[in-house]
Homo-oligomer: A and B are copies of this chain.
Amino acid sequence: MFSKACEYGIRASIYIASQSLEGTRVSLKEIAEKIDSPVAFTAKVLQQLSKNKIIESVKGSSGGFEISKNNILRIKLSQIVYAIDGNNVYEGCGLGLKRCNAKEPCPVHNRFVEIRAELKNMLESTTLYDMTMGLEQGLTYLRR
């Protein structure tokens, strides 16, 4: 569904958010450990998220990554996905046709429209805060 890069990006964002809520900035190394991802590859993903204003990076000693409370509340899962995977998830025909729409649909167009709409709706209504909630209470996991 999502690329590996995107999966790491979402997991990283959630971890950074949970730590930011506690008032602590986290390093790349710590993030990679906590979400069980390859360090250098995760670095690239974080750069991308940083450029897209999803997370904030602080250089230098005692630097690291963080997200402001406001952004934790505001940022939607859809924005993270878009920053890394673009709009492939929303657009894009289920059968890979370049031009596929209500007027000139592929044989499964109508069936896919509904599901895609629900997916989109879910991604757009889930905030970083929503995803962070369970973590601190030990109800959800980022590495398994």
Contacts and interface: CB of A to CB of B under 8 A. Distances in A.
Contacts of A48: none
A58 interface: no
A53 to B, nearest CB: 21
Nearest to A4: B96
Contacts of A1: 1, 92, 94
Interface of A: 1-2, 4, 7-8, 10-11, 14, 77, 92, 94-100, 104-109, 111-112, 114-115, 118-119, 122, 126, 131-135, 139-144
30 contacts: A1-B94, A2-B94, A4-B96, A7-B94, A7-B96, A8-B96, A10-B95, A11-B96, A11-B106, A77-B108, A95-B142, A97-B142, A104-B141, A104-B144, A105-B134, A105-B141, A106-B140, A106-B144, A107-B131, A107-B133, A107-B135, A108-B126, A108-B131, A111-B122, A114-B118, A114-B122, A115-B118, A115-B119, A115-B122, A118-B118
